[in-house]
Amino acid sequence: MINEPLLRETEILEDLARHAQDDSGAAEEVGRDLRDRYRRWYEEVLLGLPDELGKRFREQYEGSLAKPRIKQYVREPQKKWSLYNHVPKPLRAHGPWQYPFESCFLEPFQEQKHILAVASRHTRPHDRMTDTFGVLSDISYRLPMAVSILQRPIQGRAGLSVHDEYDLQRILHALLTLHFEDVRPEETTPSKAGGSYRIDFLLRREKIAVEAKMMRRSLTPRKVGDQLVRDIFGYERHEDVEGLFAVIYDPERQIDNPRGFESDLSKRDSPFPVRVVVTQG
| Average pLDDT estimate for 30-55 | 91
CA–CA separation, 17 and 99 (whole Å):
12
Would you state the pLDDT for residue 87? 77
Would you state the pLDDT for residue 240? 87
Q: What's the pLDDT band for 211 if we cut at 50, 70, 90?
A: very high
Domain architecture of the chain: domains with CATH: 4-122 (no CATH), 142-280 (3.40.1350)
Whether residue 209 is predicted with pLDDT greater than 80 in this model: the reply is: yes
Would you state the pLDDT for residue 127? 67
Please state, rounded to an integer, the average pLDDT across all residues of the chain: 88
| Average pLDDT estimate for 45-67 | 91
Whether residue 125 is predicted with pLDDT greater than 70 in this model: the reply is: no
Would you state the pLDDT for residue 193? 44
CA–CA separation, 204 and 141 (whole Å):
23
| Average pLDDT estimate for 266-271 | 82
Residue 52, exposed/middle/buried by CB under 10 A (0-12, 13-18, 19+)?
exposed
Would you state the pLDDT for residue 265? 93
SS3 269: coil
- Taking the C-alpha atoms of 71, 72, 74 and 79 in order, what is their torsion angle to the nearest 10 degrees? 180
154 - beta bridge partners? 157
Would you state the pLDDT for residue 124? 54
CA–CA separation, 76 and 272 (whole Å):
47
CA–CA separation, 164 and 152 (whole Å):
17
| Average pLDDT estimate for 123-131 | 69
Residues in the chain: 281
Q: Strand pairing of 198-203 and 208-214?
A: antiparallel
Would you state the pLDDT for residue 191? 46
Q: 72-82 pLDDT, tens per residue?
A: 999 999 999 88
Least confident of 53-57, 58-62, 157-161, 245-249: 157-161
The overall pTM is greater than 0.75: no
Would you state the pLDDT for residue 188? 67
208 - beta bridge partners? 203, 243
